[in-house]
Structure 1
Amino acid sequence: MASVRINGAKITDWASFHQIFKETCGFPDFYGMNMNAWIDCLSDLRAEYGMTQFQLANDEILYLEIHGALDLSVRLPEIISELVESTAFVNSRYLGYGQTPPLAIIFIG
């Protein structure tokens, strides 16, 4: 089981959101710091292009643990909304390839 722990209290804006995900998921130096780039990186979880530090097996899931999610959803609801939407997009992409969706979000407190 692969997982990343995101401290929602450290997300203060879009720049910090992208920096935290870049660090915790091992996105490359050329990561574009936007949601299109986030989707592209996390669409590589079962490929071998090195867009993340993870290389998942076909049935493996990467759990995104968002700690302090309730506070984050009050402070920055657009970030939570976009995170959910983008995660769904990545999972839909994998379903389109006939594969198991690779992402699950766990909202904690």
Structure 2
Amino acid sequence: MTIQPAKLTDPAVRAFVTAVNAHDRDGFLALLAPGATMADDGSDRDLDEWIDREIFSSNGHLDVDNESQGGRALLANYRNDTWGEMRTRWSFTVEDDGRISRFETGQA
């Protein structure tokens, strides 16, 4: 059962998923804290390069199945034009100002 993005618990994570699915790069970047970092399958990646390749130039889309840790950990089906669909996990570090300072993803 997919959780609609508007029903996600954490406001920053809700906005992140909404921006990914709307292909809203500017909105996505506005959610990130200065110096934000990310990792894919346990390896740190260049954030700008990764989001362009894995999300915005390849029509990335998240269908969230489950959330935990107050909405800051997701289990989701992720698809893009490069890799097709895969089962993924996402975790988020959200700062006091509501911006995301780090996210990690990988196959679930």
TM over 0.5: no
- Bigger radius of gyration among the two: 1
From the two aligned structures, give the one with the greater strand fraction: 2
For Structure 1 versus Structure 2, the TM-score category normalised by the shorter chain is under 0.3
- Structure with bigger helix share is 1
TM-score (norm 1): 0.26
